[in-house]
Structure 1
Amino acid sequence: MPLAPTPVLVLALVGLSGFPVAAAVYAFGPPDLRFTAIHVLLTWSAVILGFLGGIRWSQETDRDPPRFLRLAAAMLPPLAGGGLLLARDFVPADWILGGFIVTYLAAWLFDRAPQTLARYPALMTLLTFSACVSLALALEKALRI
């Protein structure tokens, strides 16, 4: 059984590419690109959390009637991502990166909750794992700086 239909998988992997590219540039790239790379990684993390929250919201609104608590829970990861992004000038990068990892893992756990409408759970696991590994690579570098 494939992770998802080919068009969904290809576009998901293209969307995912921002994580490892930005993390690799931050961790291994030239020092003059580190600042830009970490901000790209943080911004991309918030954008994708917003996108995934929209997917969860859309899936729940297809129910008749939609459940208020599920709709509210779908909003939490995008709000956390936005808050972490806004905090980047006031909080050390290692805390922000850790916050994004926790937020991605919490969203992944939410997708595993009973009665959650997860269309491609294996794909979501792959994407969450890849995002978290990229963020962890950047976190490891941030802790060494």
Structure 2
Amino acid sequence: MHSINDTVTAEQAAEDYEFLIRQLVRTRVINVSEINDCPKFDLVLLGMGPDGHIASLFPNHSVLNEKDQWVTFITDSPKPPPERITFTFPVINSASNVAVVVTGSSKAEAAHLAIDDIGPDSPQLPARMVQPIKGKLVWFLDAAAASRLDGIKASE
């Protein structure tokens, strides 16, 4: 485990953390993806917010489109704290396994929009953008969070 330096700005913390991860990839402590140059973590464990955000990747935020950096930062988070750092989608989607854990009825609509096939007009929630390239994606939801999913009965 490698912690993030919380004594510097979000920008500096993101730069430092990416440098650390790049060193670990360069020395083969962390494998590299065969698809891109991103680290290939064995497991990325994510939670999801009621707005469909995962990690610190929020709906309609410019960092959703980040392709070059492995770690990025935001200073205008819609929920506290305002300054955050996060892995980008290229890193998340390069993992061997991604697990998303969702609990509570306040997240039921976002879970429905992220998981169910609701057509091309569905909002592009960050949780829906979790699509491992060669890895596996598993969702873990409690009954309340799963209550709006297609084909799920309330008692399941």
Q: TM-score, normalised on structure 2?
A: 0.25
Compute the TM-score of the two structures, normalised by the length of structure 1: 0.27
Structure with greater contact order relative to length (CA < 8 Å, sep ≥ 6): 1
> Greater strand percent: which structure?
2
**Greater percentage in helix:** 1
